Amino acid sequence: MDNICIGILASAWKGVWAVDRENRFIFFNKGMEDISGLMSDYLMGKDLMLFLPDQTIIDEVHFRELFHKAREELTPVNYSLLPIINSKGELMEQSGQLLPLLDEDGSYTGMVGTVEYFSTKKIGASAGGDGSSERKLDVIYRNSPVIAFLWKPLPGWPVVFVSENISRFGYHAEEFTSGKMLYSDMVYPEDLSGLTSEISDFEKLENLYFTREYRIVTRYGEVKWVTERSMLARDERGGPSYYQGIIIDITHLKEMEYALKESEEKYRLIFENSPLGIFNFGKDGTVTHCNDKIADILGIPKEQILGFNMNTSLRDEKMKAAFKEVLLLRQGHFEGEYRSRENGKAAFIKVDYSPNISGDGTLLGGVGIVEDIRERKQAEEKLREYADELSKMNKELQSVDRMKSELLSNVSHELRTPLTSIKGYSDLLMEGTLGEMNYQQLKAVNTVIRNTERLRRLVDSLLYVSMAEVENIKYDFSKIDVLEVIDNAVTDMTIPVTEKKIDVLLHVQEDVPQIEADAKKIADMLTNVLDNAVKFTPSMGKISISARKEGEMVHISVEDTGIGIPSELVPHLFQKFYQIDPSIRRKYGGTGLGLFISRNIVEAHKGKIWIESEDSQGTTVHILLPVQQGGA
């Protein structure tokens, strides 16, 4: 059986050789003797590497590197145009495979090399060399990926011989040689019909060697791909006598092949259906491939793009400079208008160039990605126009705003003069300076004074807002007495407080210091706060005003028993012109400016103002002012 195994291996290719772990020849068939002019007896035990010329094979990888790769990765490696020096000193080149051999533990034990030229060596013929070399080869062979077969050309293909390493598929050699299993039992059902038909057709021809890839099923139900290489021996009448050959598991190669096809298909779909234009070019700048989208973007027939040399034919200097970055192994970028030299059509595009670099760092070519940015450019232009319009409108609004502020300021000043006169004469009437008045007359004059004061505060508020908008408010800081300011604010509210019979309580601690502030602005602020408290506190209600020292600050609070404010609306109260509800404006009046102005005044003093309130539970306004402006 050893000779059968060796014979099948030797007859599968024109030339076959084998070396052990130390690269010493242990097998060299007759075909190799004919090719090289070297005899098997001479080579046995000698180092393979001594017989390799110092040249490279066609894929520019040295044979020694391929040999090392097959040995390290334990996978078959193809080689082509391998140079070998024969005994006459002539250089011959062959192609074939390097097949690493493993022992029972899966460790490397040697290498089989084949030459893709088939021998007609008969079964049972001597392979040359001594018996120990044949036995050593057989041990190695039983653990190699190459499985040897000899089967008859009968239905199901009965097996006469199969090497022991059929066990790699979970089977035992005896199962086949005993007749319990036919070779066809192992073939994948979907491939059996095609394989049977192909072998039948092959036998009708005069060909000697049969090669095919198909699937088999292991004992464990796994599907494996194999490649078969068999020689058909014929009888004296020319009829088929038996097949002898080998099968090799190529499942891993098929998986890589499928993965490559899948990757290529994905790339093809992306290439063909991408919303971007894609093109490939060689290292000289000539476009070799492109998709249809780039033709749509540029408005040029695809045929005119293919073969276009960017290095010599690009007219746009910026685009050409971006392309030449690729020649320097860098990425290039262009964005702007591109005008075709063929039809003069302009297109707004963005192009990104990337180099395609080989493993040794040399430039193979590159790829370009083209994006149509016409719509983006149009949108950017519209955005610029819109921005210009907004800028123009903003300037006009600023002009109108200044006019409004100037108008408010002028109107406020104009109103102040008659109001001062009205207030002055009304006070004279109330004091009896201009003669005695009866109760009804006094009541009428009191109404005039109250509304005059209300109108004055409104004018002051409008004037403050107009000045605040142009940042033209000036503050005159000096030492002021807090109690005095509070008393003045309460005095200003005497008339409405008296009319509504509201009880005003003061709680000012004795240690409250003077503060550095603008007396008039603080008085206006407190008057605004008190005005709201009086306005929203019902008749017979109560307002409590307190002041106390807290560290370097003075804390003033104004608490009323009025209608209160829903807690969720409190954060909005300091907004300009804010009103909780239109009905409140109609019932209580007001402009919505009081608290807005109060906050501005307090913040200008580096202080803080906040409100605590609940619906129907009254309101408390807290004011925190620093004692000194410099240290606050």
Domain with CATH 3.30.450.20 in the chain: 1-144, 145-251, 274-372
Architecture of the structural domain at 145-251: 2-Layer Sandwich (3.30)
CATH topology of domain 274-372: Beta-Lactamase (3.30.450)
The whole-number average pLDDT for the span 449-468 is 68
**Range in 301-315, 331-345, 480-494, 547-561 the model is least confident about:** 331-345
- Which pLDDT does position 332 carry in this prediction? 94
Average confidence score pLDDT of the chain: 81
- Which pLDDT does position 55 carry in this prediction? 38
Residue 268 banded pLDDT, cuts 50, 70, 90: confident
Residue 134 banded pLDDT, cuts 50, 70, 90: very low
- Which pLDDT does position 155 carry in this prediction? 93
The whole-number average pLDDT for the span 136-162 is 77
Residue 122 banded pLDDT, cuts 50, 70, 90: very low
- 3-state class (DSSP) for residue 410: helix
| Residue with more model confidence, 258 or 395 | 258
- With a cut of 80, say whether residue 240 has pLDDT above it: yes
Task: Output the CATH code of domain 1-144.
Answer: 3.30.450.20
- With a cut of 70, say whether residue 103 has pLDDT above it: yes
- With a cut of 90, say whether residue 413 has pLDDT above it: no
As a whole number of angstroms, the distance between CA 246 and CA 231 comes to 9
- Which pLDDT does position 76 carry in this prediction? 86
As a whole number of angstroms, the distance between CA 409 and CA 346 comes to 58
- Strand stretches in 303-376, DSSP E: 332-339, 346-357, 363-372
- Which pLDDT does position 127 carry in this prediction? 36
- With a cut of 60, say whether residue 15 has pLDDT above it: yes
562 and 533 Cβ atoms separated by less than 8 Å: yes
The whole-number average pLDDT for the span 35-63 is 66
| Residue with more model confidence, 95 or 517 | 517
Task: Give the closest residue to 372 by CA, choosing from 304, 293, 308, 292.
Answer: 293
**Residue 379 CA: distances (Å) to CA of 293, 386, 408:** 22, 10, 42
- Which pLDDT does position 602 carry in this prediction? 92
- With a cut of 60, say whether residue 404 has pLDDT above it: yes
pLDDT over 70 for what percent of the chain? 79
- Which pLDDT does position 4 carry in this prediction? 55
- Which pLDDT does position 384 carry in this prediction? 86
- Which pLDDT does position 477 carry in this prediction? 92
**Range in 5-9, 281-285, 528-532 the model is least confident about:** 5-9
| Residue with more model confidence, 629 or 322 | 322
- With a cut of 60, say whether residue 91 has pLDDT above it: no
The whole-number average pLDDT for the span 361-386 is 87
**Residue 14 CA: distances (Å) to CA of 96, 113, 203, 209:** 10, 11, 21, 11
- Which pLDDT does position 62 carry in this prediction? 55
- With a cut of 70, say whether residue 600 has pLDDT above it: yes
**Range among 81-90, 237-246, 467-476, 579-588 rated most confident:** 237-246
Residue 284 banded pLDDT, cuts 50, 70, 90: very high
The whole-number average pLDDT for the span 365-391 is 85
* pTM listed for this prediction: 0.39
- Which pLDDT does position 551 carry in this prediction? 92
As a residue count, the chain comes to 632
- Which pLDDT does position 11 carry in this prediction? 57
**Range in 50-59, 375-384, 586-595 the model is least confident about:** 50-59
Q: What would the two tokens of residue 123 be? A: 């079964």
| Residue with more model confidence, 564 or 426 | 564
- Which pLDDT does position 159 carry in this prediction? 92
Phi and psi dihedrals of 78, rounded to 5? -85, 150
Contacts by 72-79 with C-beta closer than 8 Å and gap 24+?
A: 74/100, 74/102, 74/108, 75/100, 75/252, 76/100, 76/145, 76/248
Task: Give the closest residue to 537 by CA, choosing from 567, 507, 505.
Answer: 505
CATH topology of domain 475-626: Heat Shock Protein 90 (3.30.565)
DSSP state of 278: E
Residue 392 banded pLDDT, cuts 50, 70, 90: confident
**Range in 118-122, 357-361, 480-484 the model is least confident about:** 118-122
- Which pLDDT does position 597 carry in this prediction? 85
The CATH class, in words, for 378-464 is mainly alpha
- Which pLDDT does position 59 carry in this prediction? 35
Residue 58 banded pLDDT, cuts 50, 70, 90: very low
| Residue with more model confidence, 495 or 560 | 560
- Which pLDDT does position 341 carry in this prediction? 67
Domain with CATH 3.30.565.10 in the chain: 475-626
- Which pLDDT does position 326 carry in this prediction? 92
